[in-house]
Structure 1
Amino acid sequence: MIDWILHGTIAVGDGHLYVREVVGNVFGLASAILGMRRVVWAWPVGLIGNILLFTVFVTGEMSGATDEPLWGQAGRQVFFAAVSLYGWWRWSRSRAAGGAADGGAITPRWATWVERGQLVALGVVGYAAAYAVLTRIGSWGPTTEAWILAGSMLATYGMARGWVEFWLVWILVDIVGVTSLVRAGYYPTAGMYLVYAVFVLIGFVVWWRASSTSEHTRELQGANA
């Protein structure tokens, strides 16, 4: 089974898909669904997908258009793995403390203006740093790869903190990611990005409603105090 996941292919028409890329994206999608529901398991499930997809992008051997590594895509998997450990710890801690009133591991909320300013600043610095590094090491498409990497960092960190805005960042990442991956020949991942986009929109609405409900609850509690 392990050998099949790492080296197997799935016939599609006259071509084939690599099992590793497909399975890695399935784990990523499962993580997104669990994250939308604010289930702690979103983090370890996503971690498995990160490991598989890192091996996909760290070489260009699975691409139908380029032999160069997509270091931006590979790098974001490393960051995802690191933040997954942080998010896993943070959500587990929140769950142990009682979690959200609706049963979620964490209570969603909109970031403050100070926190939004921090996100913008981190995005600018992150993009500049990622572009410089990716250009230096010769990654394919450093302009778009840098945004995918920096945007993914912001979105994942925002998810760990429980900020509703992280879904909006994901939308911007997906828009760039789909076009970039199609050009690079990573069609399963590009297709999964389109699926992600649907769940991102749904997730944004779900978290928005949850944040509004929790805010209303706090207001009632304050009025009754």
Structure 2
Amino acid sequence: MTDFILEWLLNNKIELLGAILGIVYIVFSIRQNILTWPTGLVTSAIYVAVFFNARLYADMGLQVYYVAISIYGWYFWIKGKKPQNTTQVPVKNTPGLLWIKLTFVSVVLYTILLYILLNWTNSDVPYMDSLTTALSIVATWMLAKKYIEHWLLWIFIDAFSAGLYIYKGLWPTVVLFIIYTIMAVLGYIEWKKDLQHIRKEAI
């Protein structure tokens, strides 16, 4: 049994490292720590290779986007507008008009990704892969801008993705996304507390 576990760990060490770093990333994200972004950048670079080998091409492309958005989020959290006497960009709610725009962007992204996967790849899960990828693009941008509702999107995305990765047999990633789902709930709770604190101070 020990030999089997050691062999499995050796054969899946890259995916396992990505899973561990992914957990660290989400902890930093909940705490609104600037280390969210460099950690996320490294995690995404690792998962480019993992998803390529698993033929999850939309998810692979998503990781490339994550690398880019990590650089943007890193910059925005440092240089973005901050209230007086604070060192952090504040948490905020997503305006109604922005929700409409984000919904439209999500539908467009889903349609484009689905067309690409159906016509130009050998993906065996194009519909699910396109859905999680489109929503993840939007949710990560919302994280970079500190819109609290990005956590609600992640709760759905992570739970749905866990089922997808069970189907693909990516077991360390399954565990990671179950943890992600739980931590997304905790993240929403913690950011909501911070948002309520900001509102009290504004009164």
TM-score, normalising length from structure 1?
A: 0.82
Q: Paired residue for 1:72, among 52, 55, 58?
A: 58
* CA deviation profile, 1:10-65 (whole Å, cap 9, x unmatched): 965496141100111211111111111111110011100100111111123xxxxx
Cα deviation, residue 82, structure 1: 1.1
Amino acid in structure 2 at the alignment position of 1:188: P
**Aligned residue pairs: how many?**
199
Aligned-partner SS, 1:38 = coil
Counterpart-to-counterpart distance in 2, 1:100 and 1:144? 44
Q: Paired residue for 1:20, among 14, 17, 36?
A: 14
Look up the match of 2:117: 134
Aligned-partner SS, 1:58 = helix
Cα deviation, residue 118, structure 1: 1.3
Counterpart-to-counterpart distance in 2, 1:71 and 1:107? 35
Distance 1:162 1:11, change over 3 A: farther
Look up the match of 2:99: 116
Percent identity between the two aligned chains: 23
Within a 5 Å distance, the mapping from 1:73-92 to structure 2 comes to 73-92=59-78
Counterpart-to-counterpart distance in 2, 1:100 and 1:57? 43
Moved over 6 A (4+): 99-102
- Answering whether residue 175 of structure 2 is matched by residue 181 of structure 1, we say no
Distance 1:58 1:101, change over 3 A: farther
Structure in which a larger fraction of residues adopt helix: 2
Counterpart-to-counterpart distance in 1, 2:45 and 2:21? 10
In structure 2, list runs of 5 or more residues that go unmatched.
Answer: none
Within a 5 Å distance, the mapping from 1:39-118 to structure 2 comes to 39-60=33-54, 69-94=55-80, 105-118=88-101
TM-score, normalising length from structure 2?
A: 0.91
Counterpart-to-counterpart distance in 1, 2:15 and 2:76? 29
* CA deviation profile, 1:114-158 (whole Å, cap 9, x unmatched): 111111111111111111112122223011000111111011000
Distance 1:99 1:83, change over 3 A: farther
- When the two chains are superposed, the root-mean-square deviation of aligned CA atoms in Å is 2.0
Aligned-partner SS, 2:94 = coil
Counterpart-to-counterpart distance in 1, 2:172 and 2:199? 39
Counterpart-to-counterpart distance in 1, 2:85 and 2:146? 14
